Structure 1
Amino acid sequence: MAVIGKIREKAGWAIGLIALGLGLFIVGADFFGPKSNLFSNDAEVGKIAGHGISAKEFEAEVEQIKATMAMQGQNPTEQQLQQIREQVWQDMIFRYAYQPQFEKLGIGLSPEERDDMIAGDNIHTSIKQTQVFQNASGQFDRTMLDRYLDYIESDSARPQDKQLWENFIVNQLPQMRMREKYDNLLRTSLYVTQAEAQHEYEAQVAKVDAKYIYVPYYSIPDSTIKVSDDELKTYLSAHKNQYKGDETRSLKYVTFPIMPSAKDSADLKSQLVDLAKQLAVAPNDSSFAIAESEIEVPGNGSYQVIGALPQEIQNTISTLIPGSINGPFQDGNEYYIFKYDGAKDDSIPSLRASHILFNLPKGASDSVKAQTRKQAEDVLKQIKDGASFEALAQQYGSDGTAQRGGDLGWFSKNGQMVKEFEGPIFSFNGSGLLPNLVETEYGYHIVKVTQPKTYKKYKVAVIRKSIVPSEATRNEVYRKASAIGSQAKDIASFEEAVKKDPTLSAYTADRLQPQATSINTLVNARSIVQWAFKDDTKVGTVSTELFELDNPNQYVIAVLTGKSEKGSPSVDAYRAELTNKVRNQKKAEQIISKLGDLSGTLDAIAQKYGAQAQVLTGTDITMGSNSLPSVGMEPAALGKAFGLKVGQKSKAIKGENGVIVMEVTKQTPAPQIADYTQYKTQLKQNKSFSVTYLAGEAIKEDADIEDLRYKFY
């Protein structure tokens, strides 16, 4: 019955989580927050395959999931609400875009197949991976599933559990299964020709050695190359197939962090001085400390082993006088004071130690163990001879303590550490280096006791408060931000206003999607995204309001710098990328002109050009790598190299990273082979990873999805 109780508590919501996760198999989610009333009679949140999704239809499905959660005693957080809305949207994409494609192909799910996936010989993976149907070792336990199925069919099953399960087996599970069938159909339809396999073989096996001149684009300062809007438009027109016309926005913005001032810090310190006087005479200092502390201190006011005390108190506790008031002390963005109420003896000792772990993998052979032990003993000898324990811990330690010199902190002899580790350490008297290695299931440890064992428990009452910006500080930051906002009327004046203040920096965000919730490092920035996508926010518009964001708390002013509508890519939407492309083209022309007619050796040409021209060599270069040593991805240069004869020099090549002149010094053709099966298999596996994604993208493109949720959330 205990097992059934556990299932009743957890399995229903666990099944619900499977449903919540289903939307992720179509696309990755980008979430959003609430905005306005959805219940206008003619409002639509989008259109999928010609089907208009009314706000009422969409919100009804959202409310259905929320109601089910409420039956489970769950009140969705804002993040969960965003996930629910995304799940509903993905369900609708499946219903109106994917489902018709499946029906055309005759893909369906019979009742018998569904039953087999739930309780037959072929349990679906999503059920097997549900935690409540797994044993202690994380393996699927059929008994746990059978018990749940018995429960869900019994009269004692809660209605909310039945509803979740019904939704899962009627809606979610069939969707997952049909998508799996569709994906498998695509994968099994893949075919690789003999010519493709031969080309792949040659790309991997044929090699050349080459010498080449490389003049990087970064050798010419960007500031010396001017790019006009007409040039950007010409480039975009010539490469329009490379740029999608999605609905996006680009902006520049400046942030004004709301940070505590020096006065705020001083005022809080003064407040803590007054509280210290009150703490000294409080009838119940523990209750007073807990009531006045803004930050929870575990075990505040009770007797604790030294390892449970705040770190900064541990270091001084042995020197304190009972009844003393200590502080205020600053710890980062906090101040604290504490009253020391003395110590009492305890039967369980505590100590502080550091270690250097030489890790042994599970099942390590005797030779590996001997080699690891030898290394640990050598390091132990170095420490005995005077080497720094902390420095060697950073060099050789194989766990998370290495970065802090091996420090394990304070711990008690109460099972916190494995017995093989506790035994020799707590048997050691005083402090210092243990003379021998300590062996545990994790490997070999070099141990140093840094604070000797103590049987004491200590009582301290701590008051801790955060240093926060005062109202006056907030007003000053608001005033500064408003001043910038009042000066900025367009992109140029925005940039000029920011330049005048050396403490400010303008940041760029390109091609924001309508459902974005973050902008670069700005989290919970949905309000800025919604402003950018308003119909009356034109390119060049500066936000008239100060956006206030939290985590961290700050004001933000933004200016819209680019706008792209669906189906028509614009220069503004891709300005930064297009500018870089055109600028590099112009740099390439300058470099090629300066290189001249390329007569003479590569070294002579490079010397004539100047220090920016590097002469590099590469050995065993393959076509499949797409990369040149010390240069990076350069498919055009590689292709040219494999078309040259030994000793032949190429013309100057406009590469991805700079201008390149190739000269092949050695060729190693791929030997003829009779069987290309291995390469056919490789290509088929590689294609199988992408074919389902590409097919999904094709389905969504064919459905002409119009997502207008950003107007409502």
Structure 2
Amino acid sequence: MAVLSKIRERSMFLIIIIGLALFAFVLDPSTLGDFFNSSKVNEVGEVDGEAISRQEFANELESYKQQTGGRASEMQAAKTVWDNIVRKKIYKSQLNEAGITIGEADVWNEVVNAPFVQNNPQYQNEVGLFDENKFKQFLADTKENNEQLWAQWSSYMNQVRDNAETNTFNNLVTAGLGASLKEGEMQYLVDNTKLNGQFVYVPYTSIADSLVKLKKSEVEAYIQDHKDQFQVEASRDISYVKFDIAATPEDEQAIMLDVASLKEDFKTTDNDVLFLSENDSDTGLNSGYIFKSNVNTLIADDLFAANEGDVVGPYKDLDAIKLSKITEVVQMPDSVKSSHILIPFVGAQRVAADVTRTEEEAKQLADSLLTVVKRRKSKFAELAKEFSSDQGSAEKGGEYDWYNYNRMTPAYRDFTFEGKVGEMEVVKSPFGFHVIKIDDQKNKQKVVKLATFTKNIVASEETENAVFRQAEEFALAVSKENNFFDAAKEMNYNPKPAVGLKVLDENVPGIGNQRQIVSWAFNNETEVNAFKRFDLEGSHVVAFVTGIEEEGLMSVNKATSRVRPILMNEKKAALIAEKFNGSDLPEIAKATSTSLRTASNITLKSPTLSGVGVEPKIVGAMFNAEIGKLYNKIEGNRGVFAFKLTSKEEPTALPNYDASRKRIAEARKRQTFKMYEAIKKASDVEDNRAFMYSN
């Protein structure tokens, strides 16, 4: 019955959908198949007609999240994965057009010739030479018996393929990007030819903006004439008022009193972990030692004057109220110098792709190395260079220079700070097994272990309700008057703008990661002047849509700020040019009420005019000018010019221009990213990710 009820509720919706499909069929029968085509529904986008399925995208996304350990947000990960997929398909397409294929043999050759494969004893024969059959057997066994390790190898080989395709295409293109000696000579002349002359300059700022009238139609005409410069993605502009849920002084005082009431029970308990848990402490037990320098200065003296078993507080520390019990007092150095040999294993953190040893094998190797260095300490540096995977320290014989208590991973830290100088041991950490030698310690001092009960200073329920009522009252005022800004002004709120939000954005300036607000702003039913209250973590936001920009040509209103200065300068140039009368520079200077200026030793490489600034247009005109000829009414970046070139000093000729030629060629070959961007721009890329993340 429940299912039938749901169907009845949605019956009208289903009728409308079917009706639209039939209407489309009447107009064009071929569209009916597309309408219900599941492959279309399951596509995230296309690259030159090749579909990117939701499954392909989801698999790549999941793989990327695992590689990054979830450190990237959903939208950051989606953008990176999309860019990677598009890049791979574009490069593959280019290679196919060129008749070049990266086959399994190419990938295999790259893998087996990698130094970490060639030099691994596990894949070598009795005489120490790489044995391809042993390597093949290792991969076969791994695929059959070790899913995690095989996943790493598969990922590595896929990356080899992708890199090979990218590098092959880039190498093909850059092979033709050389430069001739003549180009080298021309570049040398352009960079080093010195220009001298005189000029008259009247800045655009000499004409007040109020004297220039600009029509909306002129802005629109400029946009139409420069369409390629004003293509935009769909975007939304919003304004919002944010109501933060913050604790009041009364809330803080109430929390202080609650924590104070626990002091005696905390002092007498013999199970600190249980006490913290049963009383809902916002922090657990910290097993590390605390130095006085790491404690809030307002309470440090009291804590370090107390004895073991004493409870200090309650006291305020940042945004929390705390009670601290001293559970242990010892003497400990504040700095240690040590050396180590790191032996990683499969599954350890930051392990390299070429590491294949198991945890048991890593422990055996570490124990063997410890036995050697205990017998002969002089061997430590040599063995660190040979065996340690921590390349930074291995190059220095495994040595870590002076470090403080909080720098190292806990297991490493505890051994080196609690042990004695000269002691050696094997210690396991998330990164593998460390063979550690304590080289030196300094500045021993009193340190303590603390059991700290913490209550974060948060708003009370009463305060939360009061803030909610404020947000609700503001939203109600907006709905009555239908004027967001008038309501904000009347209630003394200061709206903040968030301009140019894109469809896949997740961050709203001033609010943070709030994908739901972006999704709402791009909803088909959301129009200009629409508003909505959002109940967020720690705040309420009333958002209001102030502008909608669809994909395509930028609107006149949006483009005006960019176009206005250009058109204003054009109009000002025309007014200024009317004054540039005369047959020579002194006459023009007199007519424009300015002085004659001198340009000395300027070059195209550094096109700066003294007293004016950077003027590439004018310096470029000077470079191609005839000596002694007057050039009048020339529009530059900053004003209108008249000039006369008096001399042109070419640099001393070189025996050859090979160095200059090489610089040009190398610069061109470094432009592979620009090459890719150009190909991408010329490709037909359809991005439908917005449909996946519309909610």
Q: TM-score scaled to structure 1, two decimals? A: 0.61
The 1-side partners of 2:211 and 2:265 are apart by: 67
Partner residue of 1:461? 451
Name the CA distance, whole Å, in 1 between partners of 2:612 and 2:185: 28
Q: Is the 8 A contact 1:350 1:413 kept in 2?
A: no
| Offset at residue 183 of structure 1 (A) | 0.7
SS of residue paired to 2:549: strand
Q: Does 1:635 align with 2:619?
A: no
Are the equivalent residues in 2 in contact too, given 1:255–1:555 (CA < 8 A)? Answer: yes
- Pairing 1:586–2:574 present: no
Superposition deviation, residue 617 in structure 1: 8.4
Question: Which moves more between the two structures, 290-299 or 586-595?
Answer: 586-595
Are the equivalent residues in 2 in contact too, given 1:225–1:583 (CA < 8 A)? Answer: no
Checking the alignment, whether the CA contact within 8 Å between 2:42 and 2:54 is kept in structure 1 is no
Compute the displacement of 1:710 (Å): 0.8
Q: Corresponding residue for 2:499?
A: 509
Is 1:165 paired with 2:153? Answer: yes
User: Alignment partner for residue 709 of structure 1, among 682, 689, 693?
Assistant: 689
Instruction: Please say if residues 210 and 662 of structure 1, whose CA atoms lie closer than 8 Å, have aligned partners that are also in contact.
Output: no
Aligned with residue 51 of structure 1, among 49, 52, 55: 49
Partners of 1:144 and 1:602 lie apart in 2 by 88
Alignment-derived partner of residue 205 in structure 1: 192
Q: Which moved more, 1:171-180 or 1:181-190?
A: 171-180
Q: Where does residue 524 of structure 1 map in the other structure?
A: 513
Change (3 A) 1:261 1:43: same
Per the TM alignment, residue 583 of structure 1 is displaced from its structure 2 partner at its CA by: 3.5
Aligned to 1:115: 108
Match of 1:243 among 208, 215, 230: 230
Q: Write the deviation string for residues 342-368 of structure 1: whole angstroms up to 9, x where unpaired.
A: x7554x45599xxxxxxxxxxxxxxxx
Q: 1:671 to 1:154 in 2, by over 3 A?
A: same
Give the superposition deviation at 1:50: 5.4
CA contact (8 A) 1:337 1:464 kept: yes
1:103 counterpart (96, 99, 102): 96
CA 1:491–1:181 in 2, change beyond 3 Å: closer, same or farther?
Answer: farther
Q: Kindly report which structure 2 residues correspond to 1:357-372, keeping only aligned pairs within 5 A, or say none.
A: none
The TM-score with structure 2 as length reference comes to 0.63
Counterpart CA distance in 2 for 1:492 and 1:652 is 53
- Cα distance in 2, alignment partners of residues 671 and 235 from structure 1: 46
1:659 is matched with 639
Residues 665-680 of structure 1 mapped to structure 2, 5 A cutoff:
668-673=649-654, 675-680=656-661
Distance 1:350 1:64, change over 3 A: closer
SS at structure 2 position matched to 1:184:
helix
2:651 is matched by which residue type in structure 1? A
Change (3 A) 1:210 1:477: farther
Matched residue, 2:351: none
Who is 1:32 aligned against?
A: none
The reply on whether 1:260 has 2:238 as its aligned counterpart is no
Matches of 2:149 and 2:619 in 1, distance apart? Answer: 61
Q: Give me the whole-angstrom Cα distance separating, in 1, the residues matched to 2:486 and 2:587.
A: 46
Tell me which amino acid in the other structure corresponds to 1:99.
K
- Unaligned residue ranges in structure 2 (runs of 5+): 1-35, 122-127, 337-402, 408-412, 422-438
Measured in 1, the distance between the counterparts of 2:108 and 2:454 equals: 58
1:571 corresponds to which letter in structure 2? S
Contact persistence 2:64–2:81 (CA under 8 A): no
CA–CA distance in structure 1, aligned partners of residues 131 and 449 of structure 2? 47
Match of 2:286 among 298, 303, 308: 298
Helix, strand or coil at the partner of 1:536: coil
Q: Which residue of 1 aligns with 2:7?
A: none
Partner-residue secondary structure (3-state), 1:266: helix
Q: Is the contact between residue 247 and residue 513 of structure 1 (CA under 8 Å) also seen in structure 2?
A: yes
What's the CA shift string for 1:393-451, capped at 9, x where partnerless? xxxxxxxxxxxxxx98999999679x99xxxxxxxxxxxxxxxxxxxx9xxxxxxxxxx
Residue 461 of structure 1: how far off its partner (Å)? 3.3
Residues 305 and 456 of structure 1 are in contact (CA less than 8 Å); yes or no, is this contact kept in structure 2? Answer: yes
CA change 1:286–1:209 in 2 (3 A) is farther
Q: Give 1:700's aligned residue.
A: 680
Question: Could you say if the C-alpha distance between residues 485 and 59 of structure 1 is closer, same or farther in structure 2, counting changes exceeding 3 Å?
Answer: same
Verify the 8 A CA contact 1:325 1:340 in the aligned structure 2: yes
After TM superposition, give the deviation of residue 106 of structure 1 in Å: 1.6
Cα distance 1:252–1:326, how it changes in 2: closer, same or farther (>3 A)?
same
The Cα of 1:569 is off from its aligned counterpart by 1.1
One-letter amino acid of the structure 1 residue matched with residue 497 of structure 2: Y
The Cα shift of 1:545 comes to 2.4
Distance 2:480 2:615 in 1: 40
The code of the aligned residue for 2:553 comes to P
> Following the alignment from structure 1 to structure 2, what is the Cα–Cα distance between the partners of residues 671 and 665?
19
Q: 3-state DSSP class of the match of 1:108?
A: coil
Distance between the aligned counterparts of 2:597 and 2:468, measured in 1?
A: 55
Q: Deviations over 1:469-488 (max 9, x none)?
A: 34444444444445555555
Amino acid at match of 2:282: E
Go from structure 1 to structure 2 and tell me whether the alpha carbon gap of 1:214 and 1:474 turns closer, same or farther (over 3 Å shift).
farther
Matched to 1:689, the amino acid is R
- Helix, strand or coil for the counterpart of 2:676? helix
**How many pairs are equivalent?**
554
Larger Rg: 2
What is the CA–CA distance in structure 1 between the aligned matches of 2:188 and 2:100, rounded to whole Å?
37
From the superposition, tell whether residues 702 and 67 of structure 1 become closer, same or farther in structure 2 (CA, over 3 Å). closer
Q: Against the structure 1 CA distance between its residues 475 and 688, is the aligned structure 2 distance closer, same or farther, given a 3 Å change threshold?
A: farther
Of stretches 522-531 and 490-499 in structure 1, the one that deviates more from structure 2 is 490-499
Would you say the 8 A contact 1:254–1:506 is kept in 2? yes
The one-letter code sitting in structure 1 at the alignment partner of 2:518 is V
Aligned residue identity for 1:117: E
CA distance in structure 1 between the aligned counterparts of 2:459 and 2:203, rounded to whole angstroms: 48
- The code of the aligned residue for 1:518 comes to N
Change (3 A) 1:228 1:113: same
User: Take 2:85 and 2:134, find their aligned partners in 1: how far apart are those partners?
Assistant: 33
Q: What code does the residue aligned with 2:324 have?
A: F
The 8 Å contact of residues 47 and 90 in structure 2, kept in 1 or not, is answered as yes
Whole-Å separation in 2 of the counterparts to 1:93 and 1:250: 26
Distance 1:408 1:607 in 2: 70
Residue 76 of structure 1 and its aligned partner are, at CA, apart by 7.1
Contact in 1 for aligned 2:47/2:686 (Cα 8 Å): no
The aligned residue for residue 404 of structure 1 is none
Deviation, structure 1 residue 651: 5.3
Query: 1:20 aligns to what?
Result: none
Q: Find the aligned partners of 1:409 and 1:165 in 2 and give their Cα distance.
A: 37
CA distance in 1, matches of 2:62, 2:330: 55
Q: What does residue 192 of structure 1 align with?
A: 179
Which residue of structure 2 aligns with residue 329 of structure 1? 315
Task: Look up the SS of the partner of 1:337 in the other structure.
Answer: strand
Q: Which residue type is aligned with residue 294 of structure 1?
A: D
Shift in alpha-carbon separation, 1:317–1:475, aligned structure 2, 3 A: closer
Q: Is the 8 A contact 1:226 1:583 kept in 2?
A: no
Structure 1 residues 115 and 408: CA distance shift in structure 2, 3 A: closer
Q: Is the 8 Å Cα contact of residues 339 and 462 (structure 1) preserved in structure 2?
A: yes
Residues 204 and 624, structure 1, Cα contact 8 Å, conserved in 2: yes
Q: State the AA in 1 paired with 2:54.
A: E
Distance 1:79 1:409, change over 3 A: closer
Per mean C-alpha deviation after superposition, the further-off stretch among 282-291 and 268-277 is 282-291
Alpha-carbon distance change, 216 to 277 in structure 1, aligned in 2, over 3 angstroms:
farther
Q: Which amino acid aligns with 1:158?
A: N
> Could you say which residue in structure 2 is the equivalent of 1:138?
none
